[in-house]
């Protein structure tokens, strides 16, 4: 696969990574452990070198799966994981999402030891704060991670869902390698200042949900409903009334795919790759065929005229409904 670089340290990764959350959280049914490991190892075989997990996915189980899957290839892959929850006060909310944020230095130090053990490694390539903790100054968080970098336990510092001011303050203490936030044709808020800031500071950007939680694959229609165990069942823009309106964007992406003789998923991912050379999307999947499809996006190209036309069309389509339930949106820093 083609390579890209994140941050001032030029962390080299495949231009498309693999988001691993879905193996254990949010989108059941979950595969057997052996099948998850096989899919992850197939990704390595296909050239993926960038893998994203978090201690809270499971919790813990996701890191364990990734650690076992990647142990034979550890020197050839980049592992990103996340800290930011106090598991002494951890619980799930009504949407089956974690609560109990904590980025106190003592919590971070406890978290890194657990992640290193589960990932079967002596270092974490990219260590993100999972969500901004309003009770801990970001300077304290960055200072703690800087110490971990000095100790060799962490190689690069990242932030997830952090706003511009938080990014600047953190970067002043410890250089930020990458910021991870939701970004796609379906959700473009990072374009409102964040991307410009990252470019100014030389920080990479890692879009999660680059396929709009699968809506941009074309799998859903206006009548699709989601089981209550599926995280999308709690998301306003996926409820029936909003989805019926939002499917207009999906139909447009399908039209683009037909013109390019490819798939909607590849169109959506290729569009992201064309936005900036330091953007590395991490689509998640549990199936090898989807993995192969997603990776194929690296070969889809757009002319400048095509990109301008796409921009014009997607900006004319209004997406209705919030991207998260209200209580989850409060945890984001955008």
Angstrom distance (rounded) from CA 241 to CA 235:
12
Tokens describing residue 122: 């002596």
Annotated active-site residue in 57, 127, 187, 324: 57
87 with 113: CB under 8 angstroms?
A: no
Q: What is the dihedral of CA 20, 54, 122, 2, to 10 degrees?
A: 40
Angstrom distance (rounded) from CA 31 to CA 55:
19
For tokens 């999307």, the residue is 281
Whether 57 is catalytic: yes
Q: From residue 230, give the alpha-carbon distance in Å to each of 25, 97, 130, 196.
A: 9, 11, 21, 34
Which contacts qualify for 31-34: CB closer than 8 Å, 24 or more apart?
A: 31/286, 33/65
216 with 184: CB under 8 angstroms?
A: yes
What positions carry a catalytic annotation?
57
């Amino acid at each position: 696969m083609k390579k890209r670089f994140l941050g001032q340290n030029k962390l080299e990764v495949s231009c498309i990574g693999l988001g691993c959350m879905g193996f254990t959280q949010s989108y059941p049914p979950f595969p057997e452990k052996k099948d998850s490991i096989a899919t992850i190892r197939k990704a390595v075989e296909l050239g993926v070198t960038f893998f994203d997990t978090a201690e809270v996915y499971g919790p813990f189980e996701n890191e364990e799966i990734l650690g076992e899957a990647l142990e034979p290839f550890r020197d050839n892959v980049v592992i990103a994981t996340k800290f930011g929850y106090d598991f002494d006060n951890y619980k799930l909310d009504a949407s089956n999402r974690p609560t109990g944020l904590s980025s106190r230095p003592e919590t971070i130090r406890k978290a890194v030891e657990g992640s290193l053990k589960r990932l079967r490694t002596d270092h974490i390539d990219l260590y993100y704060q999972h969500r901004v903790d309003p009770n801990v100054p970001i300077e304290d968080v960055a200072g703690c991670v800087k110490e971990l970098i000095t100790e060799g336990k962490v190689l690069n510092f990242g932030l997830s869902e952090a706003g511009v001011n938080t990014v600047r303050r953190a970067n002043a203490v410890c250089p930020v390698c990458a910021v991870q936030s939701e970004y796609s044709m379906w959700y473009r808020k990072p374009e409102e200042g964040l991307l410009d800031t990252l470019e100014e500071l030389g920080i990479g950007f890692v879009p999660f949900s680059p396929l709009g939680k699968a809506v941009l694959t074309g799998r859903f229609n206006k009548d699709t409903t989601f089981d209550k165990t599926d995280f999308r069942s709690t998301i306003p823009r996926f409820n029936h009334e909003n989805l019926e309106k939002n499917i207009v964007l999906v139909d447009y992406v399908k039209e683009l795919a037909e013109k390019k003789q490819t798939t909607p998923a590849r169109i959506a991912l290729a569009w992201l790759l064309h936005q900036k050379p330091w953007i590395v999307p991490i689509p998640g999947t549990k199936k090898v065929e989807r993995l192969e499809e997603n990776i194929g996006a690296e070969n889809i190209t757009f002319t400048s005229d095509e990109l301008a036309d796409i921009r014009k069309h997607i900006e004319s389509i209004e997406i209705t409904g919030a991207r998260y339930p209200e209580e989850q949106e409060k945890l984001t820093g955008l």
